Amino acid sequence: MPSAEPSVLRLPGTPRPAPRALPKISLPLGLVLPLVLVVAWEIAAARAWLPANLLPAPSVILATLGDLGRSGELVDHLVATTTRVAVGFALGVAAATLLGSLCGTAPLARRLLDPSIQGLKSVPSLAWVPLFILWFGIFETSKVILIAVGIFFPVYLALAAGIPSVDRKLVEVARVYRYSTAALIRHVLLPSVLPTYLIGLRSGLALGWMFVVAAELMGASQGLGYLLVDGQQTGKPAIIIASIILFAILGKATDVLLAIASARALRWQDSFKHENS
């Protein structure tokens, strides 16, 4: 059965390095700070050190989430937001991978396209909202495209900057051994740029969760962004804070999944992190 590891350029006779074990993710240690903050927050709220109308206790927020869960609203909001981020992530990554690879490998394309893309990168997410509403309406298309725009730029930058920074000596060695263009990409460029590309994916995913709030301001009737705004309009801070906490949980959960996939893809890498994991 063929190995799933990326092929890395090796001189003839060089032994294949042994794959590294996957790094351990110490979730219990990472939960210490949030749990301490929640306990301190609950104590402060119980002793009336915090205004209940502005910052309700964690127990009140948990009860609010329970009520939303029992009514079925919570599941609908979670599914709507997660679906939008997933579709936007797929579109944004596909476009960024195509253009980033093109600009990274073709100097003419880089000189032609990169300045405009870098300029658009600085446009705030909310600035796109009126234009996308005008072009695509207030339904799902405009929301998904807005999320895709947010995800696009970190992934594009990872490839457009990562490919030209590949060690020139590796490319020269591959040419000495008469690698074809496809072999050069597979054995040299892809393994070299993969760590940077995976970091770009994680950064893009984080921006996707940020952009979905702006997207759900565009006439949404479901989603955590809608729930957030509804809590603000009805003066219910428990709903606002519950929405923020759910965004944090979903963002962290998806980032952990992507981090695990990245660790599997980079098991061949002999890095300082692997030595100390």
Over residues 81-102, the pLDDT tens digits come to: 999 999 999 999 999 999 998 8
Domain total for the chain? 1
pLDDT at 33: 87
Q: Please report, for residues 145, 215, 247, the alpha-carbon distance to residue 128 in angstroms, rounded to integers and kept in the order given.
A: 10, 10, 22
Residue-wise DSSP of 224-244: HHHHHHHHHHTT-HHHHHHHH
Question: How many Cα atoms within 13 Å fall on the side-chain side of residue 41?
Answer: 16
CB 265 within 8 A of CB 198: yes
* Average pLDDT estimate for 248-270: 86
pLDDT at 1: 43
Look at residue 11 and tell me if it is in a domain.
no
Residue among 127, 120, 192 nearest 156 (CA): 120
Tokens of 202: 């994680």
Residue among 216, 111, 196 nearest 156 (CA): 196
Tokens of 168: 């020139």
Kind and range of the H or E element at 184?
A: helix 181-184
CB 192 within 8 A of CB 170: yes
Look at residue 123 and tell me if it is in a domain.
yes
Over residues 15-36, the pLDDT tens digits come to: 555 555 554 544 578 788 889 9
* Length of the chain measured in residues: 277
Q: Where does the pLDDT of residue 52 fall: very low under 50, low under 70, confident under 90, or very high at 90 and above?
A: confident
Most distant pair of Cα atoms in the chain: their distance: 74
Domain that holds residue 197: 73-275
**CA-to-CA distance for 214 and 93, rounded, in angstroms?**
19
What's the CATH code of the domain at 172?
A: 1.10.3720.10
Look at residue 6 and tell me if it is in a domain.
no
Over residues 175-227, the pLDDT tens digits come to: 887 777 777 777 777 788 888 999 999 999 999 999 998 888 777 788 898 89
Look at residue 153 and tell me if it is in a domain.
yes
Distance in Å from the first CA to the final CA of the chain: 28
Percentage helix, strand, coil for the chain under 3-state DSSP, each rounded to 5: 75, 0, 25
**How is residue 138 annotated by DSSP?**
S
**How is residue 221 annotated by DSSP?**
S
CB 220 within 8 A of CB 143: yes
Look at residue 67 and tell me if it is in a domain.
no
Look at residue 21 and tell me if it is in a domain.
no
Tokens of 48: 């009336």
On the question of pLDDT at 273 being above 70, the answer is no
Q: What is the mean pLDDT of the chain?
A: 83
On the question of pLDDT at 130 being above 70, the answer is yes
Q: Where does the pLDDT of residue 254 fall: very low under 50, low under 70, confident under 90, or very high at 90 and above?
A: very high
Look at residue 214 and tell me if it is in a domain.
yes
